[in-house]
Structure 1
Amino acid sequence: MGPFPRNRFLPPEAELSERFILTGGPGGQHVNRTETGVQLRFDVAGSNFLDPATKTRLIDLAGRRIDSEGVLTIEAKSHRSQRRNRQDARARLTDLIEQASHKPRRRIPTRPTKTARRKRLEAKRQRGRIKRARGKPDPND
């Protein structure tokens, strides 16, 4: 077992690639010399880890974080240490995959009740009366 606990939503290490980047932020002058930020890349389109339906939902969920080739990039640079940023990136990836793995419930369309339709139409009539009353007074009155 590696330095990270295994999670059923975390892809195998072979499907992940990491790049370390300069981050800025807290850490004094030392921060300009150490690459503590992490760019975690996961090829969603070419992955054997996910089923096709989960891949589709993950691509939709990822938004701007996924490129045209289907590679998801997660940047983690909020912590001072590389180890914590790596853990953060993996945790965010597993959260995203977990969300995508849940199949959304199918909405069963319902019809408004008779009372709801009556109330809606009455509210529209009332609103119309209010708007008509806003006009210039009738000179014949």
Structure 2
Amino acid sequence: MTHARSSGPGGQNVNKVNSKVTVSWLVDDNNILDPEWTRRVKVRHQNRINQLGQLSLTSQQYRQQPRNLEDCLTKLRTLLLECQHPPKRRRETRPTLGSKKRRLESKRQQSSKKQSRGGRWD
């Protein structure tokens, strides 16, 4: 966990106080989550995980450091809970009548556009 100065407006307070909080968590080096849960976290949030395997979250929403720390931990908790269960598989369904009509209409328009391009040479 690191602290830094927040960006943005705020007057003199911004230049003096380290209110921004960055929480880093080693995804692979944990005893809390089972391996499947860890794999889902790594797949779903790969853009937040750096090359060292750390999941990084930041918060600078509030002017107080403790509130930003609480916000980071809430984000981490939410992120982990949404990866707890495997994603539901989509049941395959047939295309709706409306989608079929839209597809055919689009094909007709494309066809007429291409036919109108043909020049008549005499």
Alpha-carbon distance between aligned partners in 2 of 1:38 and 1:119, rounded to the nearest angstrom: 50
Alignment of 1:79-90 (within 5 A): 79-90=62-73
Coordinate RMSD, CA, aligned: 2.9
- DSSP 3-state at the match of 1:25: coil
Question: Does structure 1 residue 43 correspond to structure 2 residue 26?
Answer: yes
Q: How does 1:52-91 map to 2 (within 5 A)?
A: 52-91=35-74
- 1:10 corresponding residue in structure 2: none
Q: Which residue of 1 aligns with 2:77?
A: 94
Opposite residue 40 of structure 1, the aligned amino acid is V
Q: CA deviation at 1:85?
A: 0.5
Q: Give the TM-score normalised by structure 1.
A: 0.68
Q: 1:12 aligns to what?
A: none
The superposition leaves residues 37-71 of structure 1 with CA deviations (integer Å, 9 ceiling, x where unpaired) of 11111111111111222212211232332112321
Quote the residue 1:20 is aligned against: 3
Identical aligned residues as a percent: 35
Q: TM-score, normalised by structure 2?
A: 0.77
State the distance in 1 between where 2:14 and 2:109 align: 65
Instruction: Answer yes or no: is 1:135 the counterpart of 2:118.
Output: yes
Q: Is the 8 A contact 1:24 1:32 kept in 2?
A: no
Cα pair distance change 1:83/1:117, threshold 3 Å: closer
Structure 1: stretches of 5+ with no match in the other structure = 1-17
User: Distance in 2 between the 1:90 and 1:32 partners?
Assistant: 25
| Unmatched runs of 5 consecutive residues or more in structure 2 | none
